[in-house]
Amino acid sequence: MMKSRTALIAGAAAAALVLSACGGSGGATDATAFDIAVSNASEPYSIPWLVGKDQGFFEKRGVSIGEIVPGKGGGTTVRNMLSGDLPIADVGFTSVLESSEAGAPLAIVGGATQSVYGLDFYALDSNTRVRSITDIGKWAYTNPQSVTQALTHILPEVAGATQPIERTSSGGVGEGVALLEAGDVDVAVVPPSVVAKTDKFRVVVSSADHLKKFQQSVITTTPEFAERNPDTVKAVVAGYADAVAFIRENPDRAAQLYADYIDIDVAHAAAIVDKAIQYDNWSAGFDPAAIEQAVEAQRMVMDRTDLEFCGLFRKEFLPGNVPATLPAECE
DSSP 87-132: -EEEEEHHHHHHHHHTT---EEEEE-B-S-TT--EEEETT-TT--S
Q: 2-115+214-330 sits in which CATH class?
A: alpha beta
3-state helix, strand, coil in the chain (%, to 5): 50, 15, 35
Domain 121-210 superfamily per CATH: Periplasmic binding protein-like II (3.40.190.10)
DSSP-assigned beta bridge partners for residue 286: 324
DSSP-assigned beta bridge partners for residue 122: 188, 203
**CA–CA separation, 1 and 149 (whole Å):** 13
**CA–CA separation, 82 and 14 (whole Å):** 7
Residue 75 · residue 62 · CB < 8 Å: no
Residue ranges per structural domain of the chain: 2-115+214-330, 121-210
Q: What is the DSSP string of 145-200?
A: TSHHHHHHHHHHHHHT--S--EEEE-SSHHHHHHHHHHTS-SBEE--HHHHTT-SS
SS3 category, 219: strand
Q: For the whole model, what pTM was predicted?
A: 0.84
pLDDT digits (tens, 9 = 90+) for 155-188: 999 999 999 999 999 998 899 999 999 999 999 9
Residue 40 has a pLDDT of 81
Residue 286 has a pLDDT of 98
Better-predicted residue by pLDDT, 3 or 133: 133
Residue 196 has a pLDDT of 85
Cβ atoms < 10 Å from Cβ of 85 = 15
Q: Do domains 2-115+214-330 and 121-210 have the same CATH topology?
A: yes
Residue 84 has a pLDDT of 59
